Structure 1
């Protein structure tokens, strides 16, 4: 495997007596796109929360580009190049969609130009990115007033504008109109081609198959699979995690 941009060793997290992460070891290679999967309650969001500093770990080591980050706060981790999006993004109430993107684009030094394949003044690049994401009709509306799916699109664009080394996306297509999922996929592929490593938590398997060459699967705080998306359906522990033991037995008999 190429040099990891993110290396996790022995990561543990419990809330009271409930162990959410039971000692995770995981490497994410530079330039890769990895799907992070698992049934509800498997520990996916907690893994993102601990890696990005929003929830303190109980034990383990987290390294970004070979440097320990587990003691840093979320802002410091973001400045190091590890950025994330959230399932339910919050937006400022007193800024329009366009103003939010302009602010993000200025901080990111022109990533929209690169994603659109052109060199242009910042405002024109932002307008092009808003058009690509079908956000032009709401560009002058308060960012806090747009739909949940539109907020998701805006949060992805803002995260990319920060020029991250590694971008972790928590359910990027949840609440997004199906017609836009291919556009999100194309946007993420373009970002990856510009050097952004991606970790994607997602339940839409068609989206995962179309975007991620590699998938890792969690179940009850344990990493149970690390394989290509097409191999998941034949992986016994993955089938059991999603269907339960009885369901897994029934599926084997039906096959």
Structure 2
């Protein structure tokens, strides 16, 4: 694994009024790592994910993607820079098929569904996007539902489609927000396999997740937040022996080795 920093977070702080959510958070994610971002409710992990992915501005601090400053950069610019993300509860359009949603996520498709003033370049971009979308839907096991309304597929399939949409932009860094929450066990195994395969191809992943079995199975390293501060950065198998992590997040049952 190449350990050059793909993501650098330095001294990031965020407050909402008198509520200080993040307190000078600093960490790095190496190129090719799969890092789990953990913490109890209210620890600041969702705020940190939203700041890193351009949905919130930090009050102070620096964020870099492959050495390039990105703090305060808008989401579309972050996508172009090589970072995309998924959402915990993806909302899909009512009148678009799974394939159409995937195609619409391609960064080169600015006028995908327009029927006027289409150039040869537009048509070529659409063909390229369709081919990539079909390939990704197949890779993420969504080919059987490709022509169904995106709003009609299962919650787990919507999460897989969210990953497809994020991958359409060909990111170097993919951030995922609880990709297995509420997902059927069979689809959960599929998501694990997909993420491991993406990482094997060189993609860097940062995953917000509560499922400790998933974290142990997928992640190389965990960063644990509590009350807006990092209390641990360690391998998943070291979590249960870390007193600060146990006190902040895991609880006695997990510390004792039970799921």
Q: Which band: TM-score by shorter chain?
A: 0.7 to 0.9
Separation (CA, whole Å) in 1 of partners of 2:6 and 2:138 = 32
Q: Is the 8 A contact 1:133 1:180 kept in 2?
A: no
Superimposed CA distance per residue, residues 188-216 of structure 1 (whole angstroms, 9 cap, x where no aligned partner)? 11111222100011111111111111111
**Residue 148 (structure 1) aligned with residue 149 (structure 2):** no
Q: Is the 8 A contact 2:133 2:164 kept in 1?
A: no
**Residue 87 (structure 1) aligned with residue 94 (structure 2):** no
User: Comparing 67-76 with 227-236, which one deviates more in the overlay?
Assistant: 67-76
**Residue 174 (structure 1) aligned with residue 181 (structure 2):** yes
Root-mean-square deviation (CA, aligned residues, Å) is 2.4
Number of equivalenced pairs: 236
Q: TM-score, normalised by structure 1?
A: 0.84
Determine helix, strand or coil for the equivalent of 1:40: coil
2:74 corresponds to: 73
Separation (CA, whole Å) in 1 of partners of 2:70 and 2:139 = 35
Q: Is the 8 A contact 1:107 1:161 kept in 2?
A: no
Listed as ranges, the gaps of 5+ residues in structure 2 are 110-127
Determine helix, strand or coil for the equivalent of 1:157: helix
Superimposed CA distance per residue, residues 2-48 of structure 1 (whole angstroms, 9 cap, x where no aligned partner)? 22111111100011111111110010101111011111111111001
Separation (CA, whole Å) in 1 of partners of 2:240 and 2:63 = 30
2:64 corresponds to: 63
**Residue 197 (structure 1) aligned with residue 242 (structure 2):** no
In 2 relative to 1, CA 4–17 (structure 1 residues): closer, same or farther, beyond 3 Å?
same
Superimposed CA distance per residue, residues 209-230 of structure 1 (whole angstroms, 9 cap, x where no aligned partner)? 1111111100110000000101
In 2 relative to 1, CA 186–243 (structure 1 residues): closer, same or farther, beyond 3 Å?
closer
In 2 relative to 1, CA 52–176 (structure 1 residues): closer, same or farther, beyond 3 Å?
same
Q: TM-score, normalised by structure 2?
A: 0.83
